[in-house]
């Protein structure tokens, strides 16, 4: 059933009483975007590690999470999950329906 890998993320958005739109996004574009975003976030992490924590307790808590959790690692993990999911062509990743808006993301 799932013999070929997916080439596109199909993003469908429909607002009630309006025409729905479908945006095909190539998987390689998502992969390249996440690679570039990982590099930019890594540079930001390195810059923030050089900045001392502020004395204000609230600001200190907001800055300290970046030093303890690696946002670039989270993005890299997301990128690996998308690569793994691309093996399953026809898979619906997101299918959300509310009163006014419908959003569906699937692999084609």
Q: Which of 15, 31, 17 is nearest to 81 (CA)?
A: 31
Query: What length is written for the chain?
Result: 108
For position 39, what pLDDT does the model report?
A: 94
- Which pLDDT score, from 0 to 100, does residue 4 have? 60
Q: Any idea which residue has 């509310």 for tokens?
A: 98
pLDDT, position 37 = 94
48 in Cβ contact with 64 (< 8 Å): no
Q: Give the per-residue pLDDT at 47.
A: 86
User: How does pLDDT run across 51-69, given as a tens digit for each residue?
Assistant: 887 788 887 777 777 777 8
Q: For residues 22 and 10, what is the distance between their CA atoms, to the nearest angstrom?
A: 7
pLDDT at 92 over 90: no
Is the pLDDT score of 33 beyond 90? yes
Mean per-residue pLDDT, 2-20: 79
Phi and psi at residue 17, to the nearest 5°: 65, 20
């Amino acid at each position: 059933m799932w013999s070929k890998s997916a080439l596109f993320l199909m993003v469908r958005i429909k607002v009630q009483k309006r025409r729905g739109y479908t945006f095909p996004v190539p998987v390689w574009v998502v992969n390249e975007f996440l690679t570039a975003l990982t590099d930019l976030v890594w540079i930001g992490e390195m810059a923030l590690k050089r900045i001392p924590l502020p004395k204000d307790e609230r600001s200190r808590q907001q800055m300290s999470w970046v030093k303890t959790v690696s946002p670039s690692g989270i993005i890299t993990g997301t990128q690996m999950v998308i690569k793994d999911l691309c093996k399953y062509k026809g898979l619906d990743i997101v299918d959300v329906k509310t009163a006014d808006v419908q959003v569906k993301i699937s692999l084609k």
